[in-house]
Chain A
């Protein structure tokens, strides 16, 4: 297939079988080598240039967020927690701005629960996280539920890409 044919904003259904295979390998078996793309291309029996072009296209289309390391916050010495609060509809953006100002806030969503704003906070220490939560509470006047993880049963953000047409 000519490279130009894979350009443009295609729907996920139009990801080719090869694209899906590439996504599975990129997620699960990314080689830790000097030339990882050359190794993947060899495995797939395609040119490295074609592989890089396909990955570039999938990045541009927003299928791939990034290629890098998924780091373990705990091993790095960081503390992370899930927080929730109840915010009146009219104040969501104002309060989100206060919450999002905090660098350690990586995810923040409006959700369909009594507690309608949920965010994750990562900080160097537990005390640091608690201090940051207290600052947000004081600034906004809103009570925040702080729910740190006690045990992890699974963290594996891989999406198995089915065979062509299976999605």
Chain B
């Protein structure tokens, strides 16, 4: 596991960034006053945190249903061990795919390559699935749709 070290100032910055930034002209002003460092310093630290890989992306997180991506499916593909990288990269290449992981799965559930696919209609989803299956030759997959949200929050690390 490639854990990255961070100091107390960085810890405060992470605490701010894992939540919702104040929607103001100068979103770091409050933290700057609290920590007694300049906003420029905070911005420089954020850049460093991003370079270190602690921050994957800074920006807006949307609610996909609200922006027209109404069909959201988790699709798990039963992929032969020897081909997982090749197939995983093909799936990851589609813009409708937001996540693609190889997972350690138990024998009760042998669909090891997971993807999250977002589309604007059922037809579009069917097309994407067909295209992936044709291109990769992986024909055994399950489409697992969410029926009801039981919990959805952002992770609080610190």
Contacts and interface: CB of A to CB of B under 8 A. Distances in A.
Interface of A: 12-13, 15, 23, 26-30, 32-38, 48, 52, 55-56, 59, 61-79, 82, 84, 92, 96, 99-100, 103-113, 115, 117-119, 122, 145-161, 167
Interface in B42-86: 43, 46-47, 50, 52-64, 66-69, 74, 84-85
B148 A32 contact: no
Contacts of A118: 74, 144, 146
A75 B4 contact: yes
Given A66-B19, A104-B155, A160 B97 contact: no
Given A106-B155, A149-B103, A153-B89, A34 B60 contact: no
B25 A72 contact: no
B98 interface: yes
Contacts of A69: 14, 17-18, 46, 55-58
B60 A75 contact: no
B23 A109 contact: no
B118 A71 contact: no
Of the four ranges (under 10, 10 to 19, 20 to 34, 35 or more), the interface on chain B belongs to 35 or more
B30 interface: no
25 contacts: A13-B68, A23-B62, A30-B58, A36-B27, A64-B60, A66-B154, A68-B19, A72-B53, A74-B2, A76-B4, A76-B14, A78-B155, A99-B151, A108-B151, A108-B152, A111-B144, A111-B145, A115-B109, A145-B109, A151-B102, A153-B89, A153-B100, A155-B99, A156-B99, A159-B62
Given A69-B17, A76-B4, A110-B146, A82 B67 contact: no
Nearest to A15: B67
A29 to B, nearest CB: 8
B140 interface: no
A149 B153 contact: no
Residue from A30, A145, A154, A155 whose CB has the most chain B CB atoms within 10 Å: A154
A105 B95 CA distance: 27
Contact of B67 (A59, A76, A161): A161
B122 interface: no
A78 B101 CA distance: 17
Contacts of A33: 43
B1 A74 contact: yes
B149 interface: yes
Contacts of A35: 25-26
A61 B67 CA distance: 11
